[in-house]
Amino acid sequence: MGSTLAEKVWNEHLVRRGTGHEPDLLYIDLHLVHEVTSPQAFEGLRLAGREVRRPDLTLATEDHNVPTEGAELPIADPVSRTQVDTLRKNCAEFGVRLHSMGDTEQGIVHVVGPQLGLTQPGTTVVCGDSHTSTHGAFGALAFGIGTSEVEHVLATQTLPLRPFRTMAINVEGTLRPGVTSKDVILAVISRIGTGGGQGYVLEYRGSAVESMSMEARMTMCNMSIEAGARAGMIAPDETTFEYLKGRSHAPRDADWDAAVEYWKSLRTDSDAVYDAEVTIDADTLTPFVTWGTNPGQGVPLGERVPDPEEIADEEARAATEKALEYMDLTAGTPLRDVAVDTVFLGSCTNGRIEDLRSAAELLRDREVSSDVRMLVVPGSMRVRQQAEEEGLNEVFTAAGAEWRSAGCSMCLGMNPDQLSPGERAASTSNRNFEGRQGKGGRTHLVSPVVAAATAVRGTLSSPEDL
């Protein structure tokens, strides 16, 4: 029997196969670090008198707690300032490369890794952040880990793990204009639920996936976590190779040729068997939007707010009632009639140059509604620089949006960019939990083009509405 892509990468990294109740031991190729989950891990090394085993395979950047304006000033919030300062001290003490605020390569860790060419097919990538699954778009086995696991990788460059199951997500057909990979993954989560991928590595396949850009693929793999999965993967192809070629940490010359030859072997064998399969018809998809308080509570934008009375399952009905109460939505309301206060374009899901370009194209020669505040936050300072070279910042500011520096920003309430209680946002981020973007804030997850259209019209809208 053949092997799936995930199984191939797993087996290539086995240091020791577990026996009995013992997990396997995997070698880790790349360890990404940020300020939130690393302090206790570094302190554990310090107390045990250990060093970082492979500082050359470890990269740190500041992202979660950093302000996106006034980066040249001291961080005002004492907790955020302490976390960032602690990361800087730990990286200096243990010899870990760090990209701090003001650095061209500073930004969200899951944007920085790929743009540097550090994320490569067939590698294992970990970080103390659930959205490490982003890197699976390159054919890497990438997943988030906890603080104790961060310490284990820092000390040994290995990680004990039990094998995952595999699930194929087949997306066949052609996406309509205005429909993006963000809509695809929201449709997948709506189909299988937020726990449907639990215990699985999801492999996205099919003609629609193969036609996607690398940035679109990263968006899809990023939100595998919202389906409950441990990781998401896409087999590398010419699109992958073209993206990586020439990047600062990508192989060169003869090493490049050898790498590509190996990368081409990283495909699921024709006789491999997945533990589960799901098929999505790309031809039928339209822009998606969430209405509730988890990423699985989403429907096509053209539909209405669901009516709990029409839901037979008692538990699902109660969850819907609770979500609608928090979101202050009335059953039966057309989603296009829902007005928003804020639009957030950014995050590790949709803060890359392609995302900014698509939104800017819709905002060109248009204005953000007077009732809406729009924040545009590049995923990295490198993305910001590129956007400014292309004049995208001028398009955004001319439309009335705020142009910011890189960081996680309004994706989560750990920095100054937060919603006020009761404020409603259309957000290109990945989670719409209660209070995720600020205490009492209400979040609708959307794609970059839906975000831009919503900013113009003031209500949840798709590009075709313009």
CA distance 364 to 367: 8
348 carries a ligand binding annotation? yes
CA distance 410 to 209: 28
Ordered alpha helix ranges (H), 172-285: 181-192, 207-210, 214-222, 238-244, 253-263
Q: Which helix (H) or strand (E) is 15 found in, with range?
A: strand 14-16
> Strand 442-445's sheet: what is its strand order?
402-403, 373-376, 342-345, 424-427, 442-445
CA distance 245 to 180: 25
Q: Which residue has the tokens 């199951």?
A: 165
Q: In the structure encoding, which two tokens stand for residue 376, read together?
A: 């545009």
CA distance 42 to 51: 9
Ordered alpha helix ranges (H), 65-213: 78-94, 109-115, 147-156, 181-192, 207-210
Q: Which helix (H) or strand (E) is 278 found in, with range?
A: strand 276-281
127 carries a ligand binding annotation? no
Q: Is 295 exposed, middle or buried (0-12, 13-18, 19+ CB in 10 A)?
A: buried
DSSP label of 249: T
The 10 Å Cβ neighbour count of residue 89 is 12
- Mark 38-72 as b/e (b = at least 16 C-beta within 10 Å): bbebbebbeeeeeebbeeeebbbbbbbbbbbbebe
The gap from C-alpha 290 to its chain's centroid, in whole angstroms, comes to 16
Residue 402: strand, helix, or coil: strand
Q: Which residue has the tokens 């092997």?
A: 3
411 carries a ligand binding annotation? yes
Using an 8 Å Cβ cutoff, are 61 and 99 in contact? Answer: yes
Q: In the structure encoding, which two tokens stand for residue 294, read together?
A: 């988890």
Using an 8 Å Cβ cutoff, are 332 and 440 in contact? Answer: no
Residue 418: strand, helix, or coil: coil
Residues at the binding site for [4Fe-4S] cluster are 348, 408, 411
Residues at the binding site are 348, 408, 411
